[in-house]
Chain A
Amino acid sequence: MKLILSDCPLSIQLPDQGDVKWIDLSRLNIANCVGCFGCWTKTPGRCVIRDDAVKVYPLIARSDTLLYISRIKYGGYDTVMKTMLERAIPVQQAFIRILAGETHHVQRSVVPKDATILAYGDTGEEERAIFRKLVARNAHNMNFKTYRIFFCREEEVNDFTGKELKAWNVC
């Protein structure tokens, strides 16, 4: 399946088909991760906070193609997207493996992904450089098979999204 996660409303029309899902995180009720490790040790694979995040992280795990659309802040994802990414740790196990010469968490049933990240906002090259490093590191922990990063201004988000969906043969 293909999944679009955005931290803002978008002016896009998606065909009514089951293979593509768009979630506007800004419309959901998602609390901060409290770092309880419940999803690793008490109810493995299941977050103990039963809010809207529990509808999202299984979709992240199942998707083979991802588009994340997020404002960028201090070289990272801004609050809305970052809150969801932190709440997605039930897709990992507590246990550690060696991957690409580093220690990382073992993944549960997480499909390898082709990820596209659209990072928007008034960013300079310094902030973009940090974000590129962040996504490269995320790739190990979020099972990205490939990833591409695009930067744009806020007013360009809909245009960029439309182009990406055309590349997916969705619109």
Chain B
Amino acid sequence: MERVLILNGSPRAPRSNSKRYGEIFAACYGENAEICPVTRGNHQELRDKLDGVSHLLFVFPLYADAIPVPLLDFLKFLEDHPPQKRPAVSVLINCGFLEPQQNEIALEMMRLFCRQNRYPFASSLSIGSGEAILNSPFRFLAARKIKRFARSIARGTPQTLSVTMPLTKKWFVAASTSYWVKYGARWGTTQAQMQTMEIQ
């Protein structure tokens, strides 16, 4: 089985959903997977790890419709400091919107990086409703798709996969409103306060 380095490109890596997705992947994949966060100070260390793996998995959230800055910076570092042997690259991306296709542009950016820098692109998994799905009754759908994604990497059979909550858009709006109202309540913030139109 190929050795996989899982890089968590979330700006809030230690307590991110990307960390949870990476852990589910690693549990499916087995002992040949290692998870590391991408931080401002560890680019060289991560690049050195690439020499020992045959597969690189980027896990990250959609930020402003694209790749988050910490990961963008790491990609630029890799461009300037390529490893001796380039591993195959797969991507697991999640967004808070219902539609996994809202991740498509960030995926295209990752594929472009791979083409420009001669990394073989393998599989992708695009997750919609990614902020909440792991805490919902639909967690099993995400877990099942991650398992299939891990299998595609282990077998070297690239796949393009996606998953989201099986809800109508209106139901999703209602469910996400409830989710965020509860989130605000942790800080003592009411729904009306969260809906302020004021920008400071």
Contacts and interface: CB of A to CB of B under 8 A. Distances in A.
Given A35-B63, A42-B189, 10 more contacts: A33-B63, A42-B187, A45-B196, A77-B66, A79-B69, A93-B194, A102-B98, A108-B196, A133-B104, A141-B64
A34 B65 CA distance: 16
Interface stretch (A17-25, A83-91, A158-166): A83-91
Most chain B beta-carbon contacts within 10 A, residue among A34, A45, A54:
A45
B200 A54 contact: yes
A134 to B, nearest CB: 5
A155 interface: no
A3 to B, nearest CB: 14
Nearest to B11: A35
B176 A83 contact: no
Interface in B149-200: 169-170, 172-173, 176-177, 180, 183-184, 186-187, 189, 193-200
Most chain A beta-carbon contacts within 10 A, residue among B10, B69, B112, B189:
B69
Contacts of B98: 96, 102-103
Interface string A12-51: 0000000000000000000011111100111011100000
A109 B197 CA distance: 5
Nearest to A134: B105
A138 B180 contact: no
B38 to A, nearest CB: 11
Contact of A36 (B12, B104, B184, B199): B12
Dominant secondary structure of chain A at its interface with chain B: mixed
A34 B12 contact: yes
Most chain B beta-carbon contacts within 10 A, residue among A37, A74, A90, A127:
A74
10 contacts: A35-B10, A41-B187, A77-B66, A82-B72, A83-B69, A86-B64, A93-B194, A103-B99, A108-B199, A109-B197
A76 B64 CA distance: 10
A45 B200 contact: yes
Interface in B95-113: 96-99, 102, 104-105, 108-110, 112-113
Contact of A57 (B72, B108, B199): B199
B105 A44 contact: no
A133 B64 contact: no
Most chain B beta-carbon contacts within 10 A, residue among A41, A58, A79, A102:
A41
Given A95-B180, A98-B169, A127 B68 contact: no
Nearest to A78: B72
B76 A73 contact: yes
A130 interface: yes
Given A74-B113, A109-B198, A95 B177 contact: yes
A94 B199 contact: no
Contacts of B104: 133
B54 interface: no
